Chains A and B, each alone.
Chain A
């Protein structure tokens, strides 16, 4: 079924609110869960759905992300009938242009899609954390003979003005769509995951490209316009764990959700079978927990050496937590060194960062802070 379906992953965003974490890398390449990068989730979901043609659209600080995606090998998307392409803005006969919006990014790569020649196109965001198969959503799309199916997720009504909000009738037909409404009339938020019938999408994009007033954005332009034109838009209700981590605090919280004390809907860990998440496997040494170490309620990746105390932490590989160091409620990314006697709380320690001997950071602090310096391991 899914050979009919091609996926386009929008991975060009900067993620400004993640502060220094995205200074040198794009948001989809940010580390998560001790082992993964955020983009591992949509790519693994594509692999687990059996999608064989994946285009990854990158723009901001793209070299590390482009290298990471490569030919899709890490997610098995390099098989004989598979195609994984990193699609960056390019020079053409018409000149050269950056991707002006989410829709424009797809418009600029219609030639790629034409070559793949799919019946349906799945539009995904490269910076969402969730584990699922898109099979059910495609089944809904086909069964309802939809032009576009939007995956939606119930959010708290007070948060609803941050999202694109849908109103649907009993038969799941979308009757209203407002991007970031001031007074939301529903709590059903668009997840930015769309399945389009390719012919319909192609026509809509070409039309939108000619419109000089358009921002070339799916949520702001394409979807409202399709609604106006009485196209058949359907909602697919998603109920699993899903996070769009925009800030340091929400990235920290999404990490903590993985812990045993965390949100038990996070099926990332328990799913070992068909919805597994694939990632890079750096050739790190085995994870060592030292003689005087204390490890409680934590998630620790291979390559980590823990000699100190960690409580309620997510620890990446190639990290060293020295004897006598205390880490509480912390996300510790790769190549970090937490020196002897230092004490950190409620924080994210960015890649290659660290602490000095005896240093205290944010102990008892109420908000989550980001530690970004170059006191960790030098080799990336």
Chain B
């Protein structure tokens, strides 16, 4: 797939509430050892796409920190490249900080490359997908644009604000509309969009003429309504989730504690790559009690953990209790503390005998670095 550039589109990421107040969704911690962008980058890597661009909307530092030397997700460290697309003008003018504007600002990557096909993918849609057959189909059928979708029956509550598509008899998109939560069953866009190089050039040209605040998601329905080109639709039947709120972040994280569900995301043939942190294995004390949880390396657990997700380098003191909670990295939880239905951000210190309690319908969030 040398002919392809993959673009990680961070411009379309929804907010996960306070969790993404100071970082992008792409670099937000997930399941203890990943960031969301790992899945998008791993999909590109496993699909043998050598050149990747990350369209950064904001919080560049957080993404760069996670990307490290950028080589953790490329097959060949010479022929593979990860470029950061950063639109400084867009930051000064947020209303015009769209993915298309970002591509225009950094179009040298496209000029430099011989690639004929560009794949957009959004880190907030979590899936493990092999793009190769979809690209092969796109090329064989001589399509201009292909969109990956999924037929779902939970659209009343999920993929809200995402795109619902309607197909004609030939399998092309006939109409696109926003999911307003009024239909239970619909075909939703997974925001994986393959476009030809010439079409992307046309899109960026039109972007200036029509509405410079638009991004790809606004331009596509416009082009469709004006019959500028056809969008071929490809159905993906595997596991896919749209992370669009703190509640969904919590629900979908806990859902993966079920090994049957986890095995549909973590596939042996397509592993998920991430940055190494050189942390030692997790250490459990003589009185620790842990069940139904993901525990990351670098943790020292002497207390009780149940139905939870514990990130790297977390210390849980003696007789401390953690239930139905997500604890991000480098948190210290004092002896005899009790945490239930909470999300605790990085570097928080929970002093001994402290109690933090939300309830399953109202998860409470504690910000980074708080001392409680």
Contacts and interface: CB of A to CB of B under 8 A. Distances in A.
Contacts of A283: 271-274
B182 to A, nearest CB: 36
Contact of A297 (B33, B262, B285, B290): B285
A259 to B, nearest CB: 7
Contact of B296 (A35, A272, A287, A298): A287
Contacts of B285: 260, 296-297
B286 A285 contact: no
Interface stretch (A13-21, A197-205, A230-238, A299-307): A299-307
B288 A302 contact: no
Contacts of A352: none
Contact of B290 (A269, A278, A295, A301): A295
B212 interface: no
Contacts of B32: 286
A34 to B, nearest CB: 4
Contacts of A293: 290-291
B281 A33 contact: yes
Contacts of B288: 295-297
B295 interface: yes
Chain A: interface size category:
35 or more
Contacts of B272: 283
Contacts of B365: none
Is the contact region of chain A dominated by helix, strand, or loop, or is it mixed?
loop
Q: Which of B257, B272, B279, B281 has the most CB of A within 10 A?
A: B281
Given A35-B297, A302-B33, A305-B259, A287 B282 contact: yes
Nearest to B313: A272
B75 to A, nearest CB: 13
Contacts of B34: 286
A50 interface: no
B266 interface: yes
B276 interface: yes
B291 A289 contact: yes
B281 A302 contact: yes
B229 interface: no
Contacts of B302: 260
A34 B33 CA distance: 17
A276 B278 CA distance: 8
Interface string A181-201: 000000000000000000000
Contacts of A278: 278
15 contacts: A34-B281, A259-B283, A272-B279, A272-B298, A278-B278, A279-B278, A281-B276, A283-B273, A283-B274, A286-B34, A288-B259, A288-B294, A289-B290, A296-B284, A296-B286
Given A272-B279, A283-B272, A288-B293, 10 more contacts: A261-B286, A272-B298, A277-B280, A283-B274, A286-B296, A287-B297, A288-B259, A290-B292, A295-B288, A301-B281
